């Protein structure tokens, strides 16, 4: 919390709130000695100054603001997944479920953000697309953080940030530590499942490759219908996250199809074709492959 927040947002007790309501006769407070407390906390006035369209086209504001909303959801989901990782590292499965469930709901909100762009046709996008230069969602550092947390790892994808030292260092650090799925696999080993040692000591910079031992563990877990099977609850929570994330990737493909077809991407990729290929990389792969053997 910043100094500005600590001085502007003063904690109040339930008794103080009740007394204020009584003095106001049930009406909201309309006079404050300083900055409105809501703005001091949420920074709404700052948020609403962050939109700087590059063209005069009115539709660009939708594109810009929806992109910013998605960035906030990327960061919020990363926050929850990091929390869940810490809990799983300490074998606190039950405690990890709440942040995982929140993460799934945040991803649901992220998916809903696409609705704000469903009006956009190629003609609409073309009115301001050239002004964006080489700017592309591919260059979102927070989206890379989210992918790395989920276990989708490709070191080459941090190269665009080499000249943004702080961002590059953060992404490098994220690659150097286990993903959420790595922590889940390690948890399964500690719970007595037969996970090979080489899988536990692998280079976490590289993307996890599906392993039959991890698949077999999930088959066993889902074969136990007992009320205390927290690992099954963990599997359900992770499945929901994977589904919502997969939906976001598919919604991205549909948005590109709708607004630019198979044109080349702004960031130099093949656009639609590149996105379609990227969807072949599966989040939490053994959770899905195990279903064939259940």
What residue numbers does the annotated binding site for substrate cover? 129
* Residue 100 near residue 23 (C-beta atoms within 8 A): no
Q: What's the rounded Cα separation, in Å, for the pair 188 and 182? A: 10
Chain centroid offset of residue 256 CA: 20
Q: What's the rounded Cα separation, in Å, for the pair 66 and 202? A: 38
Structure tokens at 119: 């009006």
Q: What's the rounded Cα separation, in Å, for the pair 287 and 289? A: 6
**CA 204, 206, 211, 217: dihedral to nearest 10 degrees?**
30
Q: What residue has token string 């499945």?
A: 239
The annotated binding site for heme is made up of: 252
Helices (H), 90-140: 93-112, 122-126
Task: Quote the DSSP letter at residue 209.
Answer: -
Structure tokens at 89: 């590292």
* Residue 117 near residue 68 (C-beta atoms within 8 A): no
Q: What residue has token string 């392993």?
A: 211
- Measured at the CA of 275, the angle between CA 271 and CA 279, to 5 degrees, comes to 170
The annotated binding site is made up of: 129, 252
């Amino acid at each position: 919390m910043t100094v500005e927040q600590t001085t502007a947002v003063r904690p109040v007790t339930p008794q103080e709130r009740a007394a204020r309501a009584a003095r106001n006769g049930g009406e909201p407070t309309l006079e404050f000695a300083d900055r409105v407390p809501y703005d001091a906390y949420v920074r709404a006035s700052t948020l609403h100054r962050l939109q700087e369209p590059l063209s005069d086209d009115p539709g660009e504001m939708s594109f810009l603001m929806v992109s910013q909303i998605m960035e906030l959801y990327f960061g919020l989901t990363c926050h929850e997944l990091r929390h869940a990782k810490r809990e799983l590292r300490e074998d606190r499965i039950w405690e990890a479920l709440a942040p995982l469930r929140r993460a799934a709901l945040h991803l649901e909100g992220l998916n809903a953000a696409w609705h704000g762009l469903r009006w956009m046709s190629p003609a609409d996008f073309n009115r301001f697309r050239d002004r964006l230069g080489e700017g592309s969602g591919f260059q979102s550092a927070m989206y890379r953080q989210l992918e790395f947390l989920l276990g989708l790892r490709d070191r080459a994808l941090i190269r665009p940030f080499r000249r943004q030292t702080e961002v590059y260092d953060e992404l490098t650090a994220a690659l150097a530590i286990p993903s959420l799925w790595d922590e889940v696999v390690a948890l399964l080993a500690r719970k007595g499942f037969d996970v090979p040692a080489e899988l536990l000591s692998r280079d976490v910079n590289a993307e996890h490759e599906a392993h039959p031992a991890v698949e077999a563990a999930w088959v066993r877990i889902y074969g136990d219908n007992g009320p205390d099977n927290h690992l099954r609850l963990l599997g359900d929570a992770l499945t929901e996250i994977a589904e919502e994330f997969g939906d976001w990737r598919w919604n991205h493909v549909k948005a590109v199809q709708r607004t630019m077809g198979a044109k080349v991407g702004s960031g130099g990729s093949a656009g639609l074709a590149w996105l379609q290929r990227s969807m072949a990389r599966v989040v939490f792969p053994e959770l899905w492959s195990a279903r064939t053997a259940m």
